[in-house]
């Protein structure tokens, strides 16, 4: 990703708030871009934005790490609220971000469930890097797709990846995009593993939570 595109993603994260923080980026081997204002020396983070000091509406989290087990209460709460399976939410999170709350894709999707800015806004997510907000927004989106596609999970997942219109234009089939063709069975496989109580092993990576949060002025 070019510096210009990285800066565009950063501005999406800082939109609607003033923030005081230098922003660093690191691109993982899987192509996922990680943004933080607390770079870890073990990864090749580089400075992509220096922000001026100013009055802020920023909320800060304690600097700690996050693992799959730590988000389970949030996953279960969102699953219950929207009538979904916790196993499904876990599977989507596993494929979308690998349980990294600071993940940003090359297309600008953010957080655990990789919400695009328009989707986050639609479902009232102000801070896509907050685990609770992101999971709630992703669950709300999945529930909406469940209604739209009559509970057909394959189409729901295809729409989550490629968009509802792509599924409709494909005649209510999985669109002929290689990414989507790979995405649907991958999520379904993880879904079955989580449902069976045999989830994939964690890699041992524990992600640093972003300390920048978006808040309304």
Question: Mind telling me the catalytic residues?
Answer: 96
* CA atoms within 13 A of residue 213's CA, in its CB half-sphere: 17
Phi, psi of 160 (to 5 degrees): -60, -35
Q: Is 142 exposed, middle or buried (0-12, 13-18, 19+ CB in 10 A)?
A: buried
Say if CB 141 and CB 117 are below 8 A apart. no
Q: How far is CA 88 from the centre of its chain?
A: 15
**What is the β-pairing status of strands 33-36 and 103-104?**
antiparallel
């Amino acid at each position: 990703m070019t510096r210009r595109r990285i800066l565009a993603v950063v501005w999406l994260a800082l939109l609607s708030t003033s923030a005081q923080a230098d922003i660093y980026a690191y691109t993982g081997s899987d192509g996922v871009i990680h943004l933080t204002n607390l770079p870890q020396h073990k990864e090749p983070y580089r400075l992509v934005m220096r922000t001026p000091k100013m009055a802020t509406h920023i909320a800060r989290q304690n600097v700690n790490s996050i693992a799959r087990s730590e988000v389970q209460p949030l996953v279960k709460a969102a699953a219950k609220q929207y009538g979904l399976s916790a196993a499904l939410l876990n599977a989507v999170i596993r494929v979308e971000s690998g349980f990294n709350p600071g993940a940003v894709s090359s297309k600008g999707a953010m957080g655990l469930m990789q919400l695009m800015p328009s989707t986050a806004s639609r479902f009232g997510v102000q801070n896509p890097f907050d685990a609770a907000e992101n999971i709630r927004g992703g669950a709300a989106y999945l529930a909406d797709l469940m209604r739209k596609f009559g509970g057909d999970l394959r189409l729901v997942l295809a729409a989550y990846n490629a968009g509802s219109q792509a599924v409709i234009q494909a005649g209510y089939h999985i669109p002929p995009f290689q990414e989507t063709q790979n995405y649907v069975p991958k999520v379904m496989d993880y879904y079955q593993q989580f449902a069976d109580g045999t989830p994939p092993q964690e890699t041992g990576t524990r992600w640093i939570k972003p300390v920048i949060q978006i808040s309304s002025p």
